[in-house]
Amino acid sequence: MNAGGKGANQAVAAARLGADVIFIAKIGDDIFGKQALELFAQEGIDTSYIIIDAVNPSGVALITVDDKAENCIVVASGANAALLPDDLTAAEQKLKTAALILMQLEIPLETVEYVANKGVKNNIKVILNPAPACGLSDELLSKITIITPNETEAEILTGIKITGIDSAELAAKALADKGIETVIITLGARGALVYTGNEYFLADAPVMEAVDTTAAGDVFNGALAVAIAEGRTIQDACKFACSAAALSVTRLGAQASAPYRSEIE
């Protein structure tokens, strides 16, 4: 067993890289939830706004990894699917003062939409990692500052099958046309394609021997959020995130694979 969950992985990745992280989530009143809280505390993450659900269990997942280090994941959402806008009342002030907000799709879409609206209202950058993949409304996409799909997710969002850099550029442009300021399509070992300000940029990934790609995207997003919060350019932030993700694939597990700042440097 390994600690995981997309939001949790991203929170741990950001904390290990030096960020001041507040994690808003919902867990079950069970052994998995209790273990999660202990691990977050060890990582220095603020858990004040993690809600314990008296009805639903903590989310769990079964992950298989093939001999090419690629993974396949089946998720039982549990309490994650019960994190609703009303649960965020206590965190309202934090949502107004955050340097930025990072979200993914293992929580209800209505909650993602609610928080995106808060980001726009309070002029806070919102990063959305659109995973697990699903269709998203143009209204929601127009409120996202930075979106970070992988190739499969980008195809689901745009209908454009990504077979190389040229098709990735087309998909990135299609997403940007929906009102998103910056589109970053992660390309695995090839790095990440960035489209912002009508310009493309390819951030190369360091060449590493992959053991397990689980949580590589989460580590990328956590590192990206840290770099942007520090005021780095989007190009430098992507290079930093690619380095973090590349290190993570050399290790087994999800949260356990997230690197520390000193390792990237």
User: Is 212 annotated in the active site?
Assistant: no
CA–CA dist 85, 109 (Å, integer):
10
Check residue 264 and report its DSSP letter: H
8 A C-beta contact, residue 219 and residue 250? no
Q: Considering 67, 86, 87, 218, which one is annotated as catalytic?
A: 218
Q: List Cβ neighbours of 161 (8 Å cut-off, separation of 6 or more).
A: 155, 167
Residue 73 DSSP code: E
Q: How far is Cα 245 from Cα 249, in angstroms, rounded to an integer?
A: 7
Torsion of CA 21, 25, 28, 30, to 10 degrees: -10
CA of 69: how far to CAs of 32, 112, 177, 237, in Å? 26, 30, 34, 25
> What positions carry a catalytic annotation?
218
